[in-house]
Amino acid sequence: MSTTPTSRDAAERTLAAFYVVSGSPSHKRFPAASFTDPLAASILAALERFEQAGRTPSPQKVAAEVGRGMPSLAEDAKSILFDPSAHENSPEKIAELVETIRAGSVSRHVPSAAAKTAPLPITPETVTASIGDERIKSERVLQSKPDADSSATPFLQLWSPSQCREWEMPPDFVLAGDCHLTRGGIAVIGGVPGCGKSRALVGLAIAGATGQSWMGLPLHSKFRTMIIQAENGPARLKAEFSDIKTPVGVDLDEFIRITPAPDYGLPLLDPAFQREMRDHIAAFRPAVIGLDPWNRITLDDKQKDYRAAIDCILSCLPEAPSERPAVVIVAHLRKRVASDSRKWGRDLLPELSGSVVIGSAARSVFILEPASPDPLDDRVVWTCAKNNDGAEGPSSAWHRRNGLFEQCDEFDFEEFLSAGAPGGRVTINESDVKNALAGGVPKKDAVKRLIEATKCGSSAAYAAVALNGRFASKIDEADGLLIWTGK
């Protein structure tokens, strides 16, 4: 590798190695997203991950981190980081590297919360970097407009009260509910594993395509949805979308894109992954982007990792407000212990895993809970625990389905809430229903028997003997009597 590269890629690799061995601070170097060479970008991304985690990087550690994320680049990363030329660059050589990068092709600097969707012309500006005690000068790439008289896009805008009052909301800014889902905002769907969070996200995509309401929230326009998920493979996706009943005249292919679970998860901190994500967003132009699940995006559960992941998400979105999609993140709840009481309403917000960061960054947070521990019970409870821009609205109960969930009209919320209290209700099991239907009985008598035997509420008893409920395959009705068939 030459100390004075003649190509942009070589210059980027040398400069990336220089950043690692010199200990150049992050605010005095190019960000990883401004590098176009995959190897150089991977080295810088690995360096940034060490810094975000509060760990001290070294050439050996950075090379190992590059190999962990992209095994095909491991050997090349070692040869670059251990090349003596990375330790011998003078201020003049660094200036040449920067000039080569600047002249080689148009680049872009991506701020943590406002990325550009297309490359912009650049102008150089001097910035200092350091090697030990020596101060050297190089150049950095800044976003600017082509006209020499124009200034760079500002990071901050200051509005007067009258400007705030006069702001006009774009026609499709509010996508669902009372500002429950808005363009550019972050929403979270939280729940325990297996409760139906991913299905609820797909349901949102179906609602966006059909214009139907979603979990009781009216939609204000049809929209496209892109779901980037690492949970479900082709078999699950085939079964789910084959089961969805699409209204006549609606072409889901026009409105929905979804990823089968990628082999390498969701490496959102990888610059190459970010570039690919931006390209897909620019091509499909979704109004909603779903990310599922959150724990496959962050490196760890520390606040630094959460903040870095959120910054990366925002950096991948278009800057224009009319093109900026809403982001819906699927997240898990924290692990509960037996002594925990049932939470309700806004008290559910701290139940999110990483709630300090992800809960504060989100404009709205929805919590999905199973109605009971019974795996055959398809009922779930949907609660908006936070809505910064409108009213949360009441909780609602649903039957979990592929596509849009079906509302559960006869649901006893008092009984549901009592489940977390000492002496709360017990789950109705198969033998309870079998005994209640012994000999064939009218529905009201079966409900009475269940209430007496299990101390459950009337809502749970009616749901247990419903002909479309969880025991439907084992119950028949003849001459007004419910009969246990045990099929």
Fill in the DSSP letter of residue 81.
H
Q: Residue 398: name the closest of 136, 124, 200 by CA.
A: 200
Confidence of residue 16 (pLDDT cuts 50, 70, 90): confident
Look at 97 and 379; give whichever has higher pLDDT.
379
Residue 419 has pLDDT above 70, yes or no: no
User: Angle formed by the axes of helices 38-52 and 271-284, to 10°?
Assistant: 110
pLDDT band at 130 (very low <50, low <70, confident <90, very high): very low
Q: Is pTM, for the whole model, over 0.85?
A: no
Look at the domain 174-418 and name its fold: Rossmann fold (3.40.50)
Q: What is the pLDDT of residue 203?
A: 95
User: What contacts 360, CB < 8 A, 6 or more positions away?
Assistant: none
Of the pLDDT bands very low, low, confident and very high (cuts 50, 70, 90), residue 369 is very high
CATH class of 8-143: mainly alpha
Distance in angstroms (rounded) separating the CA atoms of residues 472 and 64: 55
Q: DSSP for 311-328?
A: HHHHHTS-SSTTTPPEEE
- DSSP 8-state symbol, 464: H
- pLDDT, tens digit, 9 for 90 and up, residues 284-310: 999 999 999 988 887 666 677 777 788
Using the predicted structure, report yes or no on whether residue 17 has a pLDDT greater than 80.
yes
Q: What are the structural domain ranges in the chain?
A: 8-143, 174-418, 430-484
Count Cα neighbours of 173 within 13 Å in the Cβ-side half-sphere: 10
User: What is the rounded CA–CA span in Å between residue 35 and residue 12?
Assistant: 7
Helix and strand element counts for the chain (H, E): 16, 15
**Residue 482 forms beta bridges with which residues?**
441, 477
Give pLDDT, residue 283.
Answer: 93
- Model confidence at 325, in pLDDT bands (50, 70, 90)? very high
Average pLDDT on 200-208 reads 96
Alpha carbon distance 313, 330 (integer Å): 14
Query: In percent, how much of the chain has pLDDT > 70?
Result: 80
Q: What are the E-state strand segments in 65-121?
A: none
Identify residue 481 by its one-letter amino acid code.
L
Q: Which of 65, 69, 57, 142 is nearest to 106 (CA)?
A: 142
The mean pLDDT of 403-410, rounded to a whole number, is 88
